[in-house]
Amino acid sequence: MPESSRAALHCAGLKVRYGGIEAVKGVTLSVQPGELVSLIGANGAGKTTTLKAIAGLIPVAEGSVFFHGEEITKTPAYRRPAKGLVMVPEGRGVFTRMSVIENLQMGAYCQSHSSQSSADIKALIEAQLALFPRLKERYKQLAGTLSGGEQQMLAVARALMARPRVLVLDEPSMGLSPVMVEKIFSVIRDVSQSGVTILLIEQNARLALEAADRGYVMESGLITSSARAQDLLADPAVRIAYLGESP
């Protein structure tokens, strides 16, 4: 069976351009069902651009994106969540003037299962509040008044309301305190263990690889290394370039 059919998510030779500049220069990567895969790399390596192309937020110049065997390269972004491909963008994108509960309800609107009853939605909300006790304590609060870490939790919880088959997270640790980063990663591991396939884009390479099954390293628009996460953590070149080890 070809990789494009076997994988939950598969990018083949993906190229993305901003005007004349090629930001992603032929990326091939796969995420198998149930896996947590991290894509790491320095600032400007092209991670967010790759992810936006996967989510359909920017056009693909060349190459293809497959989701559970179906080619979705040209599927509009708004149709992808209904297929089960859900993204948590960098910067979270929560609705700041809505309460925690209202944000969660919004997450259910892009549901693939449109026959969703209000009882189903209520049960989904209960599940998110059980996973994020911090949000439960603040369920009536406006999202804009939450801390950065709480907003990140809400963004993940809202994405889970869509019952993703594949969850794509862009820099969930961005701008958070070390304690909050730990909490967010603990939730990401829980979500992964509950069976959701995850592609995680992170600059915090150590945390991203410690949480992951496999990892890809991206440099200047290209994948330069891919291996089991524990092997990347032990790789001297990765340790020097991304884990702060002296040469």
Task: Tell me if 172 contacts ligand ATP by CB under 6 A.
Answer: no
How many whole angstroms separate alpha carbon 183 and alpha carbon 129?
Answer: 15
Task: Tell me if 91 contacts ligand ATP by CB under 6 A.
Answer: no
Binder of ligand ATP out of 45, 124, 125, 238 (CB under 6 A) = 45
Q: How far is CA 176 from CA 147, 207, 209, in A?
A: 9, 13, 18
How many whole angstroms separate alpha carbon 10 and alpha carbon 8?
Answer: 7
Reading the block at residue 183, the tokens are 């909490």
Binding-site size for ligand ATP (CB under 6 A) equals: 12
Distance separating the N- and C-terminal Cα atoms of the chain: 42
Q: Could you tell me which stretch among 25-33, 40-48, 72-80, 179-187 binds ligand ATP (CB under 6 A)? A: 40-48
Task: Tell me if 53 contacts ligand ATP by CB under 6 A.
Answer: no
Q: Name the minimum Å distance from CB 16 to ligand ATP.
A: 8
Q: Could you tell me which stretch among 39-47, 64-72, 114-122, 178-186 binds ligand ATP (CB under 6 A)? A: 39-47
Reading the block at residue 238, the tokens are 């990765």
Number of Cβ within 10 Å of residue 42's Cβ equals: 15
Nearer to ligand ATP, 47 or 80 (CB): 47
Interface with ligand ATP (CB under 6 A): 18, 21, 23, 41, 43-49, 203
